[in-house]
């Protein structure tokens, strides 16, 4: 009997080794057309056009009228942020938005960096492209594509861009200096929305080629991490390295060890820090997912319904978006009357991000990205099963929605060369902790280029 058990175990391990060993796979590149009508016979206009964010008196007056007509329901006593956005604190935000927030000034802030648009596969794609003002002698800037997620925008990167394009004047090493490209995902902000599921990774790859980059670095969190991962799976020879601050690890041998890790963590490669961030599983994973994933279910199934309300009400839009900037920054902020929002962000930064959704009317199309990418059996699709054969760095921020141990990552990203436990920070790392994230990106690139 024991011999049979041992033989079965050995056979299982052999089968597992063959199934899980690294395979040099890539996704098919293919092509597509997401714009209105048929693809033009002569090919699309590949010009890159300067773009400028603008506003008007009518836009601002309409916003103010809608804020003035807001109807709020008083919160339950001592409910803080446990029921969602606290209406008492929302009154303060609305007062500032209506009487103190200067959208014209923030438009000038947005235009601080050069904006562009270009047609790719029928869609007008918006991006900012920031080059260093000067470079150390004999040095070239490294192209870095940075991709945002939901409910963020390209504006998330405004605080980190100077640290990457001008590191020396911001107290960082200038061994690696970057030129940074931050596109808006199709259907977000100033990028045109598609009428069907769109291949964002391929579009952003074509954007980098159009800008003249045959090799480049990529970085992302939230949806940006998935888009960057897909780019690495599509064109690994063009991606020099990929840095992530979030990862979707859903089908993985090591995730099965989670319930045994509390007692046998060392056997599965869990560090003490992993144990602190993962356990107790019931509270830090199970309850957290139940509490925080309602929006995901709605947006993965019926995004247009809630989109109708949010696109019509700036107050509702602000509450819906800013609640995520509270809880996803630190889950303990649920216990505060103000959701802790101003502990990490300025109201100007938060409302600028909201205004990008409001003025472009893109909340519904942004939510459709969930239905397009998390539909039926999405984890069975090839990108979720494929390993990524591109050098990878990862920044594990302690207040991220779900902690991903290094062992989990290495299963999908076998060329993981840098894994960092960050000192503080949550989901919106580039906006919340730009210096920590910039230092980790620079560290990763340094490790890779010294190999």
Token code pair at residue 248? 């979707």
- Residue 380: pLDDT over 90: no
Is the previous residue joined to 151 through a cis bond, with omega within 30 degrees of 0? yes
Which pLDDT score, from 0 to 100, does residue 50 have?
98
Does the pLDDT value for residue 16 go beyond 70?
A: no
Contact call for residues 325 and 351 (beta carbons, < 8 A): no
227, 247 contact by CB (below 8 A): no
User: What tokens does 340 get?
Assistant: 């802790």
% of the chain at pLDDT higher than 70: 91
Highest mean pLDDT among 134-138, 267-271, 436-440: 436-440
Whether the per-residue pLDDT at 241 is higher than 50: the answer is yes
Q: Determine contact, residues 2/166, Cβ cutoff 8 Å.
A: no
Query: Which of 194, 219, 158, 215 lies closest to 356, judged by CA?
Result: 158
How far, in Å, CA of 316 to CA of 306, rounded? 10
Q: Tell me what pLDDT residue 14 has.
A: 37
Position 138 scores a pLDDT of 82
**Confidence at residue 231, expressed as pLDDT on a 0 to 100 scale:** 97
Instruction: Evaluate whether the domain defined by 48-450 bears CATH number 3.40.50.1820.
Output: yes
pLDDT at 11: 35
Query: Is residue 47 packed enough to be buried (19+ CB in 10 Å), middle (13-18) or exposed (0-12)?
Result: exposed
Any bridge partners for residue 120, and if so which?
123
Q: What is the average per-residue pLDDT within 90-94?
A: 98
So what's the pLDDT on residue 136?
82
Q: What is the mean pLDDT of residues 236-258?
A: 85
Tokens in use for 237?
A: 């020879």
Q: Which pLDDT does position 449 carry in this prediction?
A: 95
What pLDDT, on a 0 to 100 scale, did the predictor assign at position 265?
A: 74
Burial call 326-347: b when 16+ CB within 10 Å, e when fewer: bbbbbbebbebebbbbeebbeb
What is the reported pLDDT for 19? Answer: 44
> Token match 């579009």: residue?
203
* Per-residue pLDDT at 23: 60
Q: Is 132 helix (H, G, I), strand (E, B) or coil?
A: coil
Q: What is the mean pLDDT of the chain?
A: 90
126-140, 201-215, 373-387: which is most confident: 201-215
Q: What is the pLDDT of residue 38?
A: 81
Average pLDDT of the segment spanning 235-249: 96
Catalytic residues, by residue number, are: 222, 370, 427
pTM for this model (two decimals): 0.92
Pick from 257, 274, 404, 339: nearest CA to 81:
339
- The stretch 124-141 carries a mean pLDDT of 93
pLDDT at position 220 over 80: yes
The pLDDT of residue 401 is above 50: yes
Question: Is residue 3 over pLDDT 90?
Answer: no
What is the distance between the alpha carbons of residues 127 and 68, in angstroms, rounded to a whole number? 33
Separation of CA 354 from chain center: 16
C-beta of residue 196 within 8 angstroms of C-beta of residue 121: no
314 burial (CB, 10 Å; 0-12 / 13-18 / 19+) is buried
Q: In what side-by-side order are the strands of the sheet with 142-147? A: 48-51, 115-120, 123-130, 178-183, 142-147, 216-220, 239-244, 392-396, 416-421
Confidence label for 259 from pLDDT (cuts 50, 70 and 90):
confident
pLDDT tens for 262-318 read 777 777 788 999 999 999 888 888 888 888 899 999 999 999 999 999 999 999 999
Q: How many CB atoms lie within 10 A of CB 69?
A: 9
Buried b (16+ CB within 10 A) or exposed e, 21-33: eeeeeebeeeebe
Q: Is the CB of residue 421 less than 8 Å from the CB of residue 396?
A: yes
Q: How far apart are CA 299 and CA 305, in angstroms?
A: 9
Q: Give the pLDDT score at 198.
A: 75
pLDDT band at 378 (very low <50, low <70, confident <90, very high): low
Residue corresponding to tokens 């045109």: 192
70 burial (CB, 10 Å; 0-12 / 13-18 / 19+) is middle
- Between CA 144 and CA 128 the distance in angstroms is 12
Lowest mean pLDDT across 47-61, 185-199, 222-236? 185-199
Per-residue model confidence (pLDDT) at position 111: 98
The 3-state DSSP class for residue 48 equals strand
The pLDDT score that the predictor gives to residue 26 is 81
* Residue in this structure with the two tokens 């216990």, named with its chain if needed: 335
Residue 186, pLDDT score: 97
Residue 64 confidence (pLDDT) above 60? yes
Q: What is the arithmetic mean of pLDDT over 188-203?
A: 90
Residue 377: pLDDT band by 50, 70, 90 thresholds? Answer: low
Q: What pLDDT, in 10s, does the model give residues 322-366?
A: 999 999 999 999 999 999 999 999 999 999 999 999 999 999 999
Residue-wise pLDDT for 165-189, tens only, equals 999 999 999 999 999 999 999 999 9
pLDDT computed for residue 448 by the predictor: 97
Q: Report pLDDT for 15.
A: 36
DSSP-H helix ranges across 57-174:
57-68, 87-99, 103-110, 161-165
């Amino acid at each position: 009997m024991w011999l049979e058990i041992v033989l079965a175990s050995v056979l299982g391990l052999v089968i597992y080794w063959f199934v899980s060993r690294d395979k040099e796979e890539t996704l098919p590149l293919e092509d597509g057309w997401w714009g209105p009508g048929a693809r033009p016979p002569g090919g699309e206009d590949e010009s890159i056009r300067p773009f400028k964010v603008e506003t008007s008196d009518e836009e601002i007056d309409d916003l103010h009228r809608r804020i003035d007509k807001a109807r709020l329901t008083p919160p339950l006593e001592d409910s803080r942020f446990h029921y969602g956005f606290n209406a008492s604190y929302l009154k303060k935000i609305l007062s500032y938005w209506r009487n103190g927030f200067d959208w014209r000034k923030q438009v000038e802030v947005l235009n601080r960096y050069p904006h562009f648009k270009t047609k790719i596969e029928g869609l007008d794609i918006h991006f900012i492209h920031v080059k260093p003002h000067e470079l150390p002698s004999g040095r070239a800037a490294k192209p870095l594509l940075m991709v945002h997620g939901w409910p963020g925008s390209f504006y998330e990167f405004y605080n980190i861009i100077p640290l990457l394009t001008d590191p020396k004047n911001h107290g960082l090493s200038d061994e690696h200096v970057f030129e940074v490209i931050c596109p808006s995902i199709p259907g977000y902000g100033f990028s045109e929305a598609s009428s069907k599921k769109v291949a964002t990774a391929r579009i952003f790859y074509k954007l980098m080629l159009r800008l003249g980059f045959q090799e480049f670095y990529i970085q992302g969190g939230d949806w940006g991490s998935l888009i960057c991962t897909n780019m690495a799976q599509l064109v690994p020879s063009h991606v020099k390295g990929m840095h992530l601050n979030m990862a979707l690890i859903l089908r993985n041998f090591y995730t099965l060890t989670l319930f045994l890790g509390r007692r046998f963590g060392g056997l599965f490669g869990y560090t003490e820090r992993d144990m602190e961030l993962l356990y107790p599983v019931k509270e830090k994973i199970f309850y957290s997912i139940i509490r925080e994933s309602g929006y995901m279910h709605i947006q993965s199934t019926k995004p247009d319904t809630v989109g109708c309300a949010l696109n019509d009400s700036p107050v509702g839009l602000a509450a819906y978006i800013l609640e995520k900037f509270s809880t996803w920054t630190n889950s303990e902020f649920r216990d505060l009357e103000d959701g802790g929002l101003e502990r990490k962000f300025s109201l100007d930064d938060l409302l600028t991000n909201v205004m990008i959704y409001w003025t472009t009317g893109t909340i519904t199309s942004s939510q459709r990205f969930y239905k397009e990418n998390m539909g039926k059996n999405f984890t069975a699709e090839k990108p979720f099963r494929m390993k990524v054969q591109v050098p990878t760095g990862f920044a594990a921020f302690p207040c991220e929605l779900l902690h991903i141990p290094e062992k989990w990552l290495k299963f999908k990203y076998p060329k993981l060369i840098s894994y960092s436990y960050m000192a503080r920070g949550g989901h919106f790392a580039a906006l919340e902790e730009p210096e920590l994230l910039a230092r980790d990106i620079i560290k990763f690139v340094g490790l890779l280029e010294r190999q």
